[in-house]
């Protein structure tokens, strides 16, 4: 156990993985805004309330939807470009290297590699989620190279009294020049010798196969299991595996969003397993579906108003409604609690299977929106499925199922605590 915790802790604190995680976290507001813009543009009619029809009547057929399209162009459509800056910025900060210069060099390198269209424009196909893997690799490499070049003293020194901003700019001049020459030469080689782009090579050889596997039930189960086994040992599973799954699942939800924007029904969009799938239908109340655990505690302990479990549940419920569950994970506790190990892992794995079957068979629409992770259940189920009551129904069913699984283990925990208390009193 100690060895496992040590290894997982090192992985979770690994500099490059932390930079990738922080890079994605930094751009998450833009991702959410872009997702909601498309959801509003294509919001379904609810009975007699037809939002899209009403807006068309006010502003003309489709005219008002250009606003959401413009927001999309400034967020999801340039996802790769944003990530190229944010990851390089985060990694440079961890090295105490000028993060702004590093991020700008990474963006410039990324643009050099982006294929150019016939009318000399940058291809939006590779500025977005399809370019994520190139953005991640390039941002890490350019940052490391920039750091190394700075250490070799290949810089221009400025006299005392020069403003810090000017000093940093001149320090970055020679390293930036060398990096851009290297990247530009590599792009020239790809164009002349390979007659392809780095984006196409990586997408076809790495990103596409991983996305294909990611949209499968075994992959979803593996993510649910790994996330919660890490949490059980006191490690932030969501953060540790986030750097790995984000590049896989963001392109999948983008494909769903683009199909939904083009008029495809939420039932018929291509991908079942996405990040909103996990957030809205599996991690209800946070990792472990701990909102159901709180319900189970209130159900089992109805008479002992001051029972420790019940006290923890009362304090944890307000935060749990917004998917913040550290109070119950560390307060009950769930961490290193053998009684809670089985349900804490069994519940999310079970809900993953149930949710996958219901979405893939068309009982519930697939996910077509990304929401803030603090969006309360029911609201999130409605919005991520494009405004369907079936999303709410699935969340209710999942909560009931999870509560039923937690109940016997909560009862066992109560009995164990009672025996422990009686033993202490007898001694």
Digit-coded pLDDT (tens) for 15-36 = 888 888 888 888 878 887 887 7
User: Which residue ranges of the chain lie beneath pLDDT 70?
Assistant: 1-12, 42-52, 62, 158-162, 234, 236, 243, 421-427
Using alpha carbons, select from 230, 279, 304, 242 the residue that is nearest to residue 385.
Answer: 279
Give me the pLDDT at residue 422, please.
66
User: Number of helices (H) and strands (E), helices first, in the chain?
Assistant: 20, 0
Domain chopping of the chain, boundaries = 15-199, 215-426
Give me the pLDDT at residue 49, please.
65
CA distances from 46 to 24, 43, 53, 366 (A): 34, 9, 11, 18
Cα 281 to Cα 138: distance, rounded to the nearest angstrom: 34
Residue given tokens 């020194």 in the structure block: 157
Each residue's pLDDT tens digit, 345-381? 999 999 999 999 999 999 999 999 888 777 889 999 9
Residue given tokens 């990040």 in the structure block: 275
Residue 158 near residue 167, CB atoms below 8 Å: yes
Give me the pLDDT at residue 153, please.
75
Exposed / middle / buried, residue 102 (Cβ in 10 Å: 0-12, 13-18, 19+): buried
Each residue's pLDDT tens digit, 143-201? 999 999 988 877 777 666 667 777 778 888 889 999 999 999 999 998 888 888 888 88
Cα 257 to Cα 377: distance, rounded to the nearest angstrom: 21
Give me the pLDDT at residue 46, please.
57
Strands in 310-399 per DSSP E: none
Cα 168 to Cα 374: distance, rounded to the nearest angstrom: 39
- What's the gap between Cα 63 and its chain centre? 32
Q: What does the buried/exposed string (b/e) look like for 399-412 if buried means 16 or more CB atoms within 10 Å of the residue's CB?
A: bebbbebbbebbee
- pTM for this predicted structure: 0.73
Residue given tokens 């998917």 in the structure block: 323
62: left (phi over 0), alpha (psi -120 to 50) or beta: left
Omega into 333 within 30° of 0, i.e. cis?
Answer: yes
CA distances from 393 to 140, 359, 381, 397 (A): 43, 12, 8, 6
Residue 299 near residue 398, CB atoms below 8 Å: no
Query: Facing residues of 49 across strands?
Result: 46
- What's the gap between Cα 173 and its chain centre? 35
Return the structure tokens found at 172: 């970055």
């Amino acid at each position: 156990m100690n060895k496992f915790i040590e290894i997982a802790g090192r992985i979770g604190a690994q500099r490059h993985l932390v930079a990738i995680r922080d890079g994605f976290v930094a751009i998450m507001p833009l991702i959410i805004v872009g997702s909601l813009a498309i959801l509003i543009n294509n919001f379904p009619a609810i009975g007699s309330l037809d939002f899209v029809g009403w807006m068309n009547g006010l502003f003309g057929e489709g005219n008002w939807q250009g606003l959401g399209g413009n927001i999309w162009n400034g967020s999801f459509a340039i996802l790769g470009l944003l990530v190229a800056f944010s990851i390089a910025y985060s990694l440079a900060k961890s090295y105490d290297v000028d993060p702004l210069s590093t991020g700008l060099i990474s963006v410039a390198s990324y643009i050099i590699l982006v294929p150019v269209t016939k009318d000399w424009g940058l291809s939006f196909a590779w500025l977005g989620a399809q370019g994520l893997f190139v953005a991640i690799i390039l941002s890490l490499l350019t940052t490391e190279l920039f750091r190394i070049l700075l250490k070799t003293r290949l810089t221009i020194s400025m006299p005392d009294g020069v403003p810090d901003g000017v000093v940093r700019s001149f320090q970055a001049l020679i390293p930036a020049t060398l990096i851009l020459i290297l990247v530009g030469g590599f792009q020239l080689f790809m164009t002349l010798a390979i007659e392809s782009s780095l984006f196409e090579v990586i997408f076809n050889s790495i990103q596409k196969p991983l996305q294909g596997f990611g949209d499968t039930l075994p992959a979803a189960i593996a993510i649910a299991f790994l996330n919660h086994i890490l949490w059980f040992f006191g490690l932030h599973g969501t953060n540790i595996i986030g750097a790995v799954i984000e590049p896989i699942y963001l392109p999948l939800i983008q494909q769903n969003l683009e199909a939904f924007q083009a008029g495809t029904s939420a039932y018929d969009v291509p991908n079942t397993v996405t990040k909103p799938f996990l957030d809205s239908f599996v991690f209800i109340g946070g990792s472990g579906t701990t909102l159901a655990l709180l319900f189970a505690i209130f159900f089992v302990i109805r008479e002992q108003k001051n029972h420790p479990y019940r006290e923890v549940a009362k304090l944890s419920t307000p935060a749990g409604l917004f998917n913040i569950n550290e109070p119950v994970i560390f307060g009950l506790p769930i961490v290193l609690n053998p009684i809670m190990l089985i349900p804490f892992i069994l519940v999310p794995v079970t809900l993953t299977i149930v949710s996958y079957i219901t979405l893939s068979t068309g009982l519930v629409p697939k996910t077509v929106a990304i929401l803030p992770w603090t969006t309360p259940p029911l609201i999130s189920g409605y919005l991520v499925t494009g405004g369907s009551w079936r999303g709410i129904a699935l969340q209710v069913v999942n909560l009931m199922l999870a509560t039923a699984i937690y109940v016997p283990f909560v009862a066992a925990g109560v009995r164990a605590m009672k025996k422990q208390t009686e033993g202490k009193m007898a001694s």
